[in-house]
Structure 1
Amino acid sequence: MTREQAARAAGRRDWQAAYDLYAALGRRTADDTERLAESAWWLGRMDEAIRLYADAYRQHLAAGNDRGAARSSLLLAISNRLVGEAAQSEGWLGRCSRLLEAVPEGVEHGYALYLRIAALMGSDLDAAVESARRMQDLGRRFADPTLACLGVYYEGRARIKQARVREGLALLDEAMVAALSDQLAPLWAGAIYCGLMDACHELRDLRRAFEWTEATRRWCEPLPLTSLYPGICRVHRAQVLQTRGEWRQAEEEAQGACRDMVGVDVWAVADAHYEIGELRRLRGDLAGAETAYNEAHEFGRDPQPGLALLRLAQGRIEAATASIAAALAPAGGSRLERAPLHAAQTEIALAAGDVALAEASAQEVADAAVAFDSAGLGAEGNRCRGAVLLAQGRAVEAMGPLRMAFNTWQELDAPYDAARTRLLLADAYRALGDADAATRERSAAKACFARLGVVAARGGLPKGLTAREVEVVRLIAAGDSNRAIAEKLVLSQKTVARHVSNIFGKVGVTSRSGVTAFAYDSGLMGTNAHG
């Protein structure tokens, strides 16, 4: 009777009751041990779950049940991967494959493809699709809806990476509907959610991300906060809240994931620290952002492009340039995955006065937006393109893409991105001589920043000046002409003239003497560009 009660508790996802009941069994079978391990897994007791899965593996072997031993091996591979033990994960996956070679084909052969397909996503998408379809076939042949749905999910994920976005998203939506129906095994339902949210994040598909995050949050409500999927859901929710301008709640969610996911999922902890870094950088807390990015790196996440943009915010243009160039140096990664790096490089290159590099990077973002049919990436591409056109002195041409970017950010309910675009629109209006329109756009942007809690960073730059503009201010104050400034900074005189015009507008002066007075009054002549 206790075994039946334990199974019913697991069926309703009451993992504490299931754990207690399975633990109370006087004599546990291999299947009982495996279910006890699953209960411990959901309670966030990952070390105990790994130990119990290993016990179940040995019990299956002793009973001559190679299929069961292979299943336990796969769960050990997945669990070890989550806690950052890559070598042990590969060892258990190899053991799983060896065991399955000796038995007739069954559902276990389909589940064993899970980590293999994940690896193929970065190297051979055609092979990933083929394996995903094999998953679906095995699921249908052996009447396992969870396996079939997992195959649909993986095919959708691969199709998106192949730039067949509409087809891929339709498959992911189909898989998610099934995952949230409580008809699938909870472990794999959560895996499907995680993959869909990763796709939404890459595509900047903000509406879909918000809708599915809210649906999954409700699905996760009965689960302990220390279990895997509620923690991952908190990271994704933090990302959505950041975009929507709800920064305080976003940081609370990310901090909770950092606290609860230690020892459960090293990758969720790393992503949560990175998200905290992003929030702090956007608010102007540069020291706090540095700490968070370092913590993300310690947990195994590359802190780019946030770290390069932090260097830019600190006024360290050369460091920012080198940082983003290093991030882009490896040839790996799809155009979709590299788009955020190129967007950051556009901003950094413009600050460094390298308009040609900025133009090339902006084109990469725009091309990715077209290839992957993404409204969010399209807005980012238009913002980058508009910024480059402004830097080239083509304000009239810049107005179109900037206005399109702003409208899209408004439609996507992304207030910070919309406000950033307003600042570029203000620069365009000022270049066209429309001071009233420039003032309106800048005032609206500042009001948005105030609502979001953006503050002047300690050691930050006054009046919204870029680090390059601060360099020009200092040289003007030192008495240098535009030609001399161009020679010292290795810029064209046209670029210097644009910087000078921007400085006049931001500082609110009309002469070089006014810039000189500002430089001394604001303390710029006595500090480094990075404060």
Structure 2
Amino acid sequence: MAEAAAADAFAERAWAVAYRLLSQVPLADLTHTDLDRLAVAAYLVGEDGEAVAAWEHAYKRHTCAAEQAEAARCAFWAAFCLMMRGQMAHAGGWLRRGQSVLGHDLDCPARGYLLIPAVLAALDSDDADGARRLAVQAGDIAGRFRDADLAAFSTLGHGQALLAMGDEAGGLARLDEVMLAVCSGEVGPIASGIVYCAVILECLQLFDLARAAEWTAALDEWCRAQPDVVPYRGQCSVHQSQLQQAAGDWAGAVATVADARNRLSDPPHPALGLACYQEGELCRVRGDLKAAADAYREATRAGYEPMPGFALLELQRGDATSAAVSIGRALREAGQPFRRPGLLAAAVEIRVAVSDVTGATEAAAELVSIADHSSSPVLRAMAAHAMGAALLASGQTTDAMVQLREASATWQRLSMPYETARSAVLLGLGCAASGDSASAALEFGNARSIFESLGAGPDLRRADRLAGGHVGRGPLSVRELEVLALVAEGRTSRAIASSLRISQHTVRRHLENTFAKLGVTSRAAAVVYAYEHDLL
């Protein structure tokens, strides 16, 4: 019989076979158990409409048999499937059906399942404590009935709520707890996929790349063991691409996100916008600015704001003013805490470019404050790099070098080559501002080698210039450039005056003119500007 063969296929997680066999049998002829198997298999192979139809049929059958608890459970899963498709009105209708058939007195797992959408709604409305209370309530129900899927959903929601409340240690402990249940096979396939993706996303938002990489590898293994699974592969691939990019495997990251975008496009998945943004980021750092702009545009169409990448793209295009306006607007609107670190890091880079040293310092200070309350070494390195850039722009070279060396050491320890090279560029500028041209050349050379191996075109061209490429005069006179070149060698005003056979007063006047023309206030800042703009 088809049903018996389908049961065997279901047990072996051969979802396509189970779906094919069960879909050949009229719904009216399927048992309650086979209807549930059909719905689960249909969802896992991407046949969402058939999954909803199976749960709807099961709901009606349970309702007619006065089996309210089972009817409410089917209503939840139908609503869940519709929510994943973005059909929120239909999903809301099914949730109300489930609540109605359940009534007020019946104690069963379905009552806990019907709390889960309320947990998500509370999280979306920034009511973290409300989400926590609802998740704990659902967890209590799961414990009484030993329902593993409900326990997974409630523990996940509890962890997300604690993270939103600022309890990073408590939140991560809940996420690790639910992942242990998933990896040990205690949780059903649909709930497992949801938990995998949600936990990985939380880890990435916390900049906990080590934990994200560990769980992404587990998800990849889980998907490989079930080649028929459709819903989670796309989002899994986006996260995998982000981690590949951080580790320096840019070619792999490009291929992975292209596969993710294809999987998420038809029908459009909520993670499609993130995939487009990741594609844009890879295009931007490799220097394909047109492709980056196109990808960011597609991300916007899919409902994902392409920040901070779009602002950095404007900076690379040479429109630093527009970049500053864009990043400022994004920061003002960024209500979700996890959005701020990336925006702040970009704000420092952009504000330094427009000589807004005060704004850059403020953004770096906020990023340092966030990192101080986090256990993420990535976040701490981001903060150190940003503060080093701001201090360097303000002429506080020694303090800047301390921050930048801390950032560089962390990037190297985490095996993040692109970030290592970016910090090396700033270290080179700091060495140049201190008159240590030999060390500056060493840092620029190291950065250049990494950028070349990654294919980071724009950064490579900048490193080439800094390492001794084209030199221009810019707004400075020949004499002002001569004075500035001697400053870059670390000479005092007395030594410069002696070398050029002019008075110290004239040296000071040339420096004042140079500061005014370059928009800086110190010798160190002038040297940094000169290196960045090909004047030395």
What TM bracket, shorter-length normalisation?
0.7 to 0.9
Q: Distance in 1 between matches of 2:456 and 2:239?
A: 22
Distance 1:9 1:312, change over 3 A: same
Distance 1:476 1:91, change over 3 A: farther
Q: Distance in 2 between matches of 1:54 and 1:473?
A: 74
Per the TM alignment, residue 313 of structure 1 is displaced from its structure 2 partner at its CA by: 1.4
Distance 1:109 1:293, change over 3 A: same
Greater Cα shift, 302-311 or 160-169 = 160-169
Q: Distance in 2 between matches of 1:67 and 1:167?
A: 33
Among 322, 327, 331, which residue is 1:324 paired with?
Answer: 327
Letter in 1 for 2:457: V
Is 2:7 aligned against 1:7? Answer: yes
Q: Distance in 2 between matches of 1:507 and 1:493?
A: 13
Q: What's 1:447 paired with?
A: 449
Q: Distance in 2 between matches of 1:318 and 1:89?
A: 45
- Residue aligned with 1:267, SS: coil
Q: What's 1:505 paired with?
A: 531
Greater Cα shift, 92-101 or 163-172 = 92-101
Indicate the structure whose relative CO is greater, using CA pairs within 8 Å and at least 6 residues apart. 1
- Residue aligned with 2:333, SS: coil
Q: What's 1:255 paired with?
A: 258
Q: Distance in 1 between matches of 2:479 and 2:436?
A: 30
Per the TM alignment, residue 241 of structure 1 is displaced from its structure 2 partner at its CA by: 0.5
Letter in 1 for 2:51: A
Contact 1:273/1:293 (8 A) holds in 2: yes
Per the TM alignment, residue 30 of structure 1 is displaced from its structure 2 partner at its CA by: 5.4
Contact 1:44/1:264 (8 A) holds in 2: no
Per the TM alignment, residue 442 of structure 1 is displaced from its structure 2 partner at its CA by: 0.9
Distance 1:52 1:406, change over 3 A: same
Equivalence map 1:283-298=2 (5 Å): 283-298=286-301
- Residue aligned with 1:228, SS: coil
Per the TM alignment, residue 509 of structure 1 is displaced from its structure 2 partner at its CA by: 5.3
Contact 1:382/1:404 (8 A) holds in 2: yes
Q: What's 1:494 paired with?
A: 521
Greater Cα shift, 187-196 or 5-14 = 5-14
- Residue aligned with 1:87, SS: helix
Q: Distance in 2 between matches of 1:226 and 1:264?
A: 15
Q: What's 2:388 paired with?
A: 386
Equivalence map 1:33-182=2 (5 Å): 33-102=35-104, 104-122=106-124, 123-182=126-185
Contact 1:163/1:372 (8 A) holds in 2: no
Equivalence map 1:415-454=2 (5 Å): 415-454=417-456
Letter in 1 for 2:262: R
Q: Distance in 2 between matches of 1:340 and 1:326?
A: 14
Contact 1:402/1:424 (8 A) holds in 2: yes
Per the TM alignment, residue 43 of structure 1 is displaced from its structure 2 partner at its CA by: 0.8
Is 2:16 aligned against 1:16? Answer: yes
RMSD of equivalent CA atoms: 2.9
Per the TM alignment, residue 112 of structure 1 is displaced from its structure 2 partner at its CA by: 1.7
Distance 1:479 1:85, change over 3 A: farther
Q: Distance in 1 between matches of 2:59 and 2:35?
A: 9
- Residue aligned with 2:225, SS: coil
Contact 2:430/2:528 (8 A) holds in 1: no
Rg larger in 1 or in 2?
Answer: 2
- Residue aligned with 2:297, SS: helix
Per the TM alignment, residue 62 of structure 1 is displaced from its structure 2 partner at its CA by: 4.1
Contact 1:286/1:457 (8 A) holds in 2: no
Distance 1:151 1:464, change over 3 A: farther
Contact 2:355/2:520 (8 A) holds in 1: no
Per the TM alignment, residue 370 of structure 1 is displaced from its structure 2 partner at its CA by: 1.4
Q: What's 2:504 paired with?
A: none
Is 2:221 aligned against 1:218? Answer: yes
- Percent identity at matched positions? 33
Q: Distance in 2 between matches of 1:306 and 1:297?
A: 12
Per the TM alignment, residue 492 of structure 1 is displaced from its structure 2 partner at its CA by: 4.3
Q: Distance in 2 between matches of 1:89 and 1:418?
A: 47
Q: Distance in 1 between matches of 2:10 and 2:267?
A: 20
Distance 1:364 1:464, change over 3 A: farther
Among 328, 339, 342, which residue is 2:341 paired with?
Answer: 339
Letter in 1 for 2:158: E
Contact 1:45/1:264 (8 A) holds in 2: no
Greater Cα shift, 115-124 or 287-296 = 115-124
Per the TM alignment, residue 263 of structure 1 is displaced from its structure 2 partner at its CA by: 3.8
Distance 1:477 1:10, change over 3 A: farther
Q: Distance in 2 between matches of 1:13 and 1:257?
A: 23
Q: In the TM superposition, what whole-angstrom CA distance separates every residue of 1:26-59 from its partner, at most 9, and x where no partner exists?
A: 4124553343222121112234333444444444
Letter in 2 for 1:69: A
Q: Distance in 1 between matches of 2:37 and 2:43?
A: 10
Is 2:275 aligned against 1:275? Answer: no
Q: In the TM superposition, what whole-angstrom CA distance separates every residue of 1:236-272 from its partner, at most 9, and x where no partner exists?
A: 1111111101111111111111111234562222211
Q: What's 1:197 paired with?
A: 200
Contact 2:444/2:463 (8 A) holds in 1: no
Q: Distance in 2 between matches of 1:421 and 1:80?
A: 46
Per the TM alignment, residue 155 of structure 1 is displaced from its structure 2 partner at its CA by: 1.9
Contact 1:117/1:131 (8 A) holds in 2: yes
- Residue aligned with 2:307, SS: coil
Distance 1:456 1:28, change over 3 A: same
Count how many residue pairs are aligned between Structure 1 and Structure 2: 500
Per the TM alignment, residue 383 of structure 1 is displaced from its structure 2 partner at its CA by: 0.4
Q: In the TM superposition, what whole-angstrom CA distance separates every residue of 1:55-85 from its partner, at most 9, and x where no partner exists?
A: 4444444444433333233223322232233
Letter in 2 for 1:89: A
Q: In the TM superposition, what whole-angstrom CA distance separates every residue of 1:104-140 from its partner, at most 9, and x where no partner exists?
A: 0211121222222122224122222222222221111
Q: Distance in 2 between matches of 1:324 and 1:94?
A: 42
Per the TM alignment, residue 433 of structure 1 is displaced from its structure 2 partner at its CA by: 1.0
Distance 1:252 1:393, change over 3 A: same
Per the TM alignment, residue 502 of structure 1 is displaced from its structure 2 partner at its CA by: 3.2
Letter in 2 for 1:22: L
Per the TM alignment, residue 161 of structure 1 is displaced from its structure 2 partner at its CA by: 2.5
Greater Cα shift, 255-264 or 393-402 = 255-264
- Residue aligned with 1:25, SS: coil
Contact 1:46/1:263 (8 A) holds in 2: no
Q: In the TM superposition, what whole-angstrom CA distance separates every residue of 1:434-457 from its partner, at most 9, and x where no partner exists?
A: 111111111111111111111249
Q: What's 1:414 paired with?
A: 416
